[in-house]
A and B are shown apart, each in its own frame.
Chain A
Amino acid sequence: MSIDSIGRADERIKSESVVTKLMKRPELGAIGGVILVTLFFMITADRTMFTLSGIMNFMTPAAQLGILGIAAAMLMIGGEFDLSIGSMVAFAGMMFGVFVVNVGMPLMLAIPLTLALAAALGATNGMIVLRTGLPSFIVTLAGLFVLRGASLVGLKIFTGGSTQLRGIREAVEGDFMAPLFSGDAFGFIMRWLAEAGIVDSFKSGVPKVPGIPVEIIWFIVFALIATYVLLRTPAGNWIFATGGDALAAQNSGVPVRRVKISLFMLTAVAAALVAIITVMDAGSTDARRGFMKEFEAIIAAVIGGCLLTGGYGSAIGAFFGAIIFGMVTIGLTYTRFDQDWFQVFLGAMLLLAVIFNNVIRRRVTGER
C-alpha cells in the first residue's frame, strides 16, 4: 500500500457529512418521532398542551416511564429482557410502604433498604438466567407473576386484608429526605420567573407551575448518566459487547456475567425508584401499581432504537421514546379524539419503530 493511497483515504474520512453521522445514531428514529408527535398535537390539540403546565403534565408520566425505559434499554443493549419490572414497581412499593408505615422507619433507612432489596431480586433474576441458560424473557415472565402475586398477598398480610396500604404521606411528612423523592423541585426559580413575568402566574402572584416535578429531574439526570456510561466508559463498551455476542465478549476478556447481573439489578432498582416516587406522590400503594409498565418500558426502549436482539440502542433514544409515550397518553385528552385511541397509536408506533430500526441497522452495519 503506497503512502499516496493512505493520504487519499484520509480525505475520504473527512468527507463524511454530518447527515451520515446522524443517520448512524440509534436514537434518530425517536427524535424524528418526537418531532412528528409534537407537530401532530400542535395541529390537533388545544393550545394549552404546550404551555409550561401542559408540558409538565405530559412530562410527569413520561418521566415515570422513562426511568424504567432507560434501564430497560440498557438491559436490552446487554442482550436481555426484564418483564418483571412492572411487578417490581408494585413489590417495591409494598416494601417501601411497609417499612415506612408498619415499621415506622425514616426515609433515610427505608429508601436504601427498598433499593437494596430490589437490587437483590434483580440479581436473583440475573443469576437464574445465567445459571439455567434460559431466555430471560421466560425467566422474568415468571417473575412478573410471582412478584405481582407476592405484592397482593403481602399487602393483605400487612394491612389486614386490604390490597391498598394507606398513610404513607402522613408517615413521611417532614422527613428531610422527602423533597428528593416527592413534590416539585426548583420552586424558587419558578417564583422568581413568575415575579419577573416570564412564566404565567395566578393573580396572587403564585406561579401556575409551582416547580419541576422531581421525577422529571431524576429522569433527565438518569438519561444523562446512562448515556455517559454507555458511550464513554469501559462498562458501556462491555454492555454493547455482551449484547452483541456474549461468547466473543467473554473470549475478549469482558466480564459478561457481571455485566448482565448488574443490568438486571439496574432495572430492578429503577423500578424501585419509580415505586418510591409514585407511592410518595400518591400517599398510598396498591397491588396494581406498575401494571403493564414492563411492556411500556420495552416499547419506549424499542422506539428509542434498541434492537430486540441486543447489542444496539441508546439511552437517549429511550428518553425520547418515553416522551413520545407521555405526549400521546396525555396529549389525546387535549384533542377531540377519543382518549382510548392511545393504545392503537402506540401499537402502530411500535411497529413502525421496529421496521425503521431494522432498516437503519442494515444500513449501519452493511448486513447483507
Chain B
Amino acid sequence: MSAPIIHMENIKKHYGNVIALNGVTFDLRAGECHCLLGDNGAGKSTFIKTMSGVHKPTEGSITFEGKPLSFGSPRDAMEAGIATVFQDLAMIPLMSVTRNFFMGREPTKGRGLFKRFDIDHANEITMAEMRKMGINLRGPDQAVGTLSGGERQTVAIARAVYFGAKVLILDEPTSALGVRQTSNVLATIKRVREQGIGVVFISHNVRHAMAVGDRFTVVNRGQTLGTATRGEITASQLQDMMAGGQEMAALEGSLGGTI
C-alpha cells in the first residue's frame, strides 16, 4: 500500500477546559475511502474541522504528502487539495448548476475591461463533470433548487473533484437522504475513489459506511478507539464501539435488535 497522503497523529483540541479531542490518530491513502464513525458529540466535527483548516489542533501533528503542515485557514487547506463538503453544501438553490459549480472560481476569457465569465466553457465543463458522476442534467442552466438532495451532494462533490481535491472530506453526506439518493451518493463516492482521490467519509450510519469504506476508524468521547480494515470487522462490532459497548448491547436487546 502507498504512503498516506495525510497523516494525523494524536490530535488534541481543547476549548478552554473542554476537551473536544483527546488523541485522535487518522491517516488516509490515495484512492481509499476511510470512514470516520462516531455518535453525535463524539468529536467528528471538531476533527474534520481540524483537518480542513478551520481549527488549529492544540496538540498533535499533521503530515500532508510527507511534509509537516499547519493550515492557517480553510482557504490554505483548499489550495493544498483538501476539500470539504459540509452538510449545508455551500450551494445556492436559486442559481443554476453551472453558476454554483464555478461560484467564486469563474473561468474568464478576454482581457481588461472585456474580461468576462466564459459561460459556454463553464456550461460544457459542468455538463461533462456531472455526466462523469452519473447525473444527467436537463441543462446547465437548471437551478440547483430543482435537484434532489442526493444530486446536490453530487454537484458539491463533482465541484471539489474538478478543482483538484486530493483529499475529499464528506460530512454526513447521506444523513438527510432517502434510500435511493443514498445509494446514488455512495456510488458517487466509489467513482471519486477510483480517480485516486482519498475520501474521508464521516457518518454515524454503519451500514452506509460498510457499503463504501475500505477502513473504519471509530471515535468516541474525543478519542480514536482503533482502525479496522474492511472484512476484519462486522457492522455490529462497529456499532458497539461507536456507542461505547455495554449500555448499547443492553439497549439493543430491549429494542429487539432493530438499530
Contacts and interface: CB of A to CB of B under 8 A. Distances in A.
Contacts of A365: 93-94, 143-146
Interface in A233-258: 233-234, 236-238, 240-241, 244-245, 247-249, 251-254
B138 A13 contact: yes
Contacts of B78: 253
A252 B117 contact: no
A240 B95 contact: yes
B232 interface: no
B136 A9 contact: yes
A252 B143 CA distance: 18
A45 to B, nearest CB: 38
A178 to B, nearest CB: 27
B219 to A, nearest CB: 24
Given A252-B104, A366-B146, A244 B138 contact: no
A367 interface: yes
Interface residues of B, number: 34
B88 interface: yes
Contacts of A254: 103-104
B145 A367 contact: yes
B91 interface: yes
Contact of A244 (B74, B93, B105, B119): B93
A313 to B, nearest CB: 10
A241 B104 contact: yes
The 4 A-B residue pairs with the shortest CB-CB distance, nearest first, are A365-B145, A9-B136, A253-B104, A366-B146
A241 B103 CA distance: 7
B94 to A, nearest CB: 5
Interface centre among A228, A241, A248, A366 (most CB of B within 10 A): A248
A319 interface: no
Interface string B101-112: 011111010000
A233 B106 CA distance: 8
B99 interface: yes
A218 B143 CA distance: 33
A213 B93 CA distance: 41
Interface string A178-200: 00000000000000000000000
A6 B102 CA distance: 23
B145 A366 contact: yes
12 contacts: A8-B136, A232-B117, A232-B119, A237-B103, A238-B104, A240-B92, A241-B92, A251-B90, A312-B94, A365-B94, A365-B144, A366-B145
A311 B102 CA distance: 16
B115 interface: yes
A104 to B, nearest CB: 34
A209 to B, nearest CB: 33
A245 B117 contact: no
A1 interface: yes
Given A232-B117, A254-B104, A244 B136 contact: no
B116 interface: yes
Contacts of B92: 240-241, 244-245, 248-249, 311
Interface string B209-228: 00000000000000000000
A16 interface: yes
Nearest to B84: A251
A364 interface: yes
B75 interface: yes
Interface string B198-212: 000000000000000
A232 B145 contact: no
Contacts of B108: 234
A208 B44 CA distance: 76
A260 B90 CA distance: 19
